[in-house]
Chains A and B, each alone.
Chain A
Amino acid sequence: MFSHDRKRRPLGVALTALAMGAALVLTGCSAGNGGDGGGDEGGDGDNLAITFLPKNLGNPYFDTSNAGGEEAIEEFGGTFAEVGPSEASPTSQVSFIQTAAQQGVGGLVVSANDPEAICDALNEARDAGVKVVTFDSDTNPDCRDLFINQATAEGIAKSQVDLIAEQIGDAGQIAILSASANATNQNAWIELMEEDLAANHPNIELVETVYGDDDDQTSFDKTAALLQTYPELKGIISPTTVGIAAAARYLSTSEYKGKVALTGLGTPNQMREYVEDGTVTSFALWNPADLGYLAAYATKALIEGDITGEEGDSFDAGKLGEYEVGADGVVLLGDPFVFDADNIGDFDF
């Protein structure tokens, strides 16, 4: 039962090729009109449409930082948008960057899953006039205008090593439960942690680093596997809020609760239950809302031309005051903060 005839097929092919070609030509023809929709600076009103692109959606840490960014944007009268992939993989952010470039937004605030993979897409966005600011997890400095760092990497690494050393008596085996294997920020901190351990804590042995991919189920199962494989394990550091929450949940129902110390970077709301039942003694973080807030103000300053990302530039960041750009286009938020049973009730994020 053939419903196509070979003699007529080429005619059909020609017609459809013509139709598709016409469609594409129409697309190209109106290119002149549609191209300069956004990204103008100066003149009558800057484009203060800012899009936040975290590592992934559905992550409470980024929900808080996005909320901080939204608050800042509302203060200075811009438009806020948040987009993101559902899983934290290096290439999943690319299509969102491309869409932002096509939409001609004024600024894009990104936390990168990988330092290199989104570089080309970011540069194309910058060519289209979008200001690119990274926060929380950086990319290669060549692809972005500014990086808002929550604290110095050394400070973050040292605070976690100090916490675990204190909790296990400065001797024993520890492991690290990280996020995804490419994440710039985690890898930077882990490297510094290893240096700190080698230099200052010779009796602590780091047996393994496992990756939970910022996915709850994976982090949960990886914690279980760690405890199984290393019966002598004394402590776990998890420098990611998803990882530490999942690890705490597993630990609190396991026989190792109280015997294996757990610390890292966590949000107070997720960790409160485990601090109260004794699974976790103390952990660190900063205020992600402040981070998002600062990032939004930095982007605004870039869009309006107040700063260009050079070292020494300074800009106004609303309620946080004046901030100055450091070397390599890095803006520092502050120092990490340690949460424990005494102060965890005071926070709500």
Chain B
Amino acid sequence: MTATVRPPTAHPVTRAAGRVFKARETGILIALILVILVATVRNPSFLFSSDGFRDLLLTPSLLMLVAVGQAIVIITRNVDLSVGSILGLTAYLTGRLFIDVPGIPLIVVFLAGMGFGAILGLINGALVAFAKVPALVITLGTLYIYRGINVAWTGSDRINASDLPADFRGLGTGQLLGIPILTIIAAIVLVVAAWYLRNLRSGREFYAIGSDPAAAHLYGLRVTRRILTAFIVSGVLSGLAGVLYAARYGTVSSGAGTGWELQAIGAAVIGGVAISGGVGSVWGAAIGAYLLLTINRALPILGIEDFWQRAVVGALIIGAIVLDRLLALRQSRKLLEAREDAQ
């Protein structure tokens, strides 16, 4: 009477290869490589000079950290608009620690920055998880609050590069085997996050909560705890990015990190993380971050004023979500057809 639909069987290698090729991440990786190729053809020092190679890897690694945290939050069907303000606050905290506590060990500063980011993220997460208020509104409020606290604390001061110890600043420009240290740190974080989300049950639960929060709740998943974790992780990564920002740029003013939240969300969306949750990976968000900032650097080389960068980003975001929607429609149509064929 009822026939079950068998999934199409194909050779495992073909299937795996197909999955890799069809993955969104591959698509934007190809786009990134294309952009780098075109820019390098125009001006070989884009890639091949030591400065060029270093800057190519270095500048986007800060955004990558923030984008990874943002991706984790978006996967749970929330959004975190306060990451830019958290970054600014922790960057200033880093500078203040170095000035007020001379001789403080670097690792303490790192832990303090990440811990502070965790607390700020916890506030966000608690309000979203317990008060059941949409994350958009809460993080909108905390964006204002944290930025206001940052500006009030900074006053008209700023942290100057000369206030920071030389070995800390060396982190910002130093290299290990030709790869900048900041990029290595960001890459390690990325690998750990990706492994956690894919291989640990608690990581997979983020996807479940994002796909259907009501079903996840009924199924017995600890939704509150996972949402808290997602926001804390986002806060920690933004805090870490703030510490590294101070290392990279040396000067921290009260406006540090402004606008980074939209760049991070853009990077995640372009990288395949759907705004409605449950889909995407942190690899995509990372490649998206690199793509965004590399386009920024490539535009002047191609003769386009870099004023148009934001327009390009906007077009990419819209293109990405339209593509997602078309693919989802096609997928559901294929499944419907398969069901009808089986009957």
Q: Which residues of A contact B (CB under 8 A)?
A: 57-58, 60, 63, 82, 84, 86-87, 215-217, 220-221, 224-225, 227-229, 231, 245-246, 249, 253-256, 270, 273
CB closest chain-B residue, reference A62: B156
Determine whether the beta carbon of B254 is less than 8 Å from that of A216: no
Tell me the bound Cα distance from A224 to B161 in angstroms.
17
State A227–B46 Cα separation when bound (angstroms): 10
Shortest beta-carbon contacts, A-B, top 5: A57-B156, A216-B251, A253-B173, A58-B158, A58-B253
Say whether chain A's binding surface is mostly helix, strand, loop, or mixed: helix
Report B46 CB to chain A, min CB distance, Å: 6
CB distance from B154 to the nearest CB of A (A): 7
User: B37 in the interface, Cβ–Cβ < 8 Å?
Assistant: no
Tell me if B45 is interfacial: C-beta within 8 Å of chain A. Answer: yes
* Closest chain A CB from B157 CB (angstroms): 7
**Number of interface residues, chain B, beta carbon within 8 A:** 30
Residues of A within 8 A of B161 (CB): 249, 273
Asked if A216 and B50 make an inter-chain contact with CB atoms under 8 angstroms apart, the answer reads no
Specify which chain B residues have a CB less than 8 angstroms from the CB of A253 in the assembled complex. Answer: 173
Which of B43, B55, B156, B253 counts the most chain A CB atoms within 10 A? B156
Residues of chain A within 8 A (CB-CB) of B256 are 217
Is B151 at the interface (CB under 8 A from chain A)? yes
A58 to B55, CA, bound (A): 27
Query: How close is B42's CB to chain A, nearest CB, in angstroms?
Result: 10
**Additional A-B contacts beyond A228-B297, A254-B51, A255-B49 (9; CB < 8 A):** A58-B157, A58-B253, A60-B158, A84-B156, A86-B253, A217-B251, A227-B51, A245-B251, A249-B251
Q: How far is the CB of B205 from chain A (nearest CB, A)?
A: 33
Chain B proximity of A261: nearest CB distance (Å): 17
CA distance A82 to B156 in the complex (A): 10
Contact A273 B51 (CB under 8 A): no
B125 interfacial contact with A, CB 8 Å: no
B250 touches A228 (CB 8 A): no
Q: Is the CB of B55 within 8 A of A224?
A: yes
> Given the complex of chains A and B, what is the CA–CA distance between A86 and B162 in angstroms?
21
Bitwise interface map of B from 131 to 174 toward A, beta carbon under 8 Å scored 1, else 0: 00000000000000000000100111110111000000000010
Which residues of the other chain, A, contact B45 by a CB distance below 8 angstroms? Answer: 228, 231
CB distance from A122 to the nearest CB of B (A): 22
Contacts of A231 in B (CB 8 A): 43, 45, 49
A253–B173 CA distance with the chains assembled, in angstroms: 7
Q: Which residues of A contact B162 (CB under 8 A)?
A: 270, 273
B324: interface (CB < 8 Å): no
The distance in angstroms between the C-alpha atoms of A256 and B162, with both chains bound, is: 21
Instruction: Tell me the smallest distance from the CB of B107 to a CB of chain A, in Å.
Output: 23
Q: A229-B300, A253-B173, A255-B51 are in contact. Are A58 and B249 (CB under 8 A)?
A: no
- Given the complex, which residues of B lie within 8 Å of A249, measured CB to CB? 161, 250-251
Residues A58 and B156 in contact, CB atoms below 8 Å apart: yes
Given contacts A224-B55, A228-B43, A228-B55, contact A255 B50 (CB under 8 A): yes
Kindly state the separation between the CA atoms of A224 and B293 in the bound complex, as whole angstroms: 13
Are B255 and A63 in contact, with the CB atoms below 8 A?
no
Q: When the two chains form the complex, which single residue of A82, A86, A225, A245 contacts B151, counting CB atoms closer than 8 Å?
A: A86
A323 to B23, CA, bound (A): 73
CA–CA, A245 and B254, complex, Å:
17
The interface residues of chain B lying within 8 Å CB-to-CB of A255 are 49-51
Q: Is the CB of B154 within 8 A of A225?
A: no
Q: Which residue of A lies closest to B170 (CB)?
A: A253
Tell yes or no: B59 within 8 A of A by CB. Answer: yes
Min CB gap B94→A, angstroms: 15
Report yes or no: B156 in contact with A229, Cβ–Cβ below 8 A.
no
Question: A302 to nearest B CB, angstroms?
Answer: 26
CB distance from A212 to the nearest CB of B (A): 12
By a CB distance below 8 angstroms, the chain A residues around B249 are: 216-217, 220
B316 within 8 A of partner (CB)? no
Give 5 A-B contacts (CB < 8 Å), ordered by A residue: A58-B254, A84-B156, A225-B306, A245-B251, A273-B162
Q: Which of A63, A87, A225, A273 contacts B156 (CB 8 A)?
A: A63
Does B52 sit within 8 A of A, measured CB to CB? yes
Complex alpha-carbon distance, A229 and B232, angstroms: 40
Q: Which of A215, A229, A270 is within 8 Å of B255, CB to CB?
A: A215
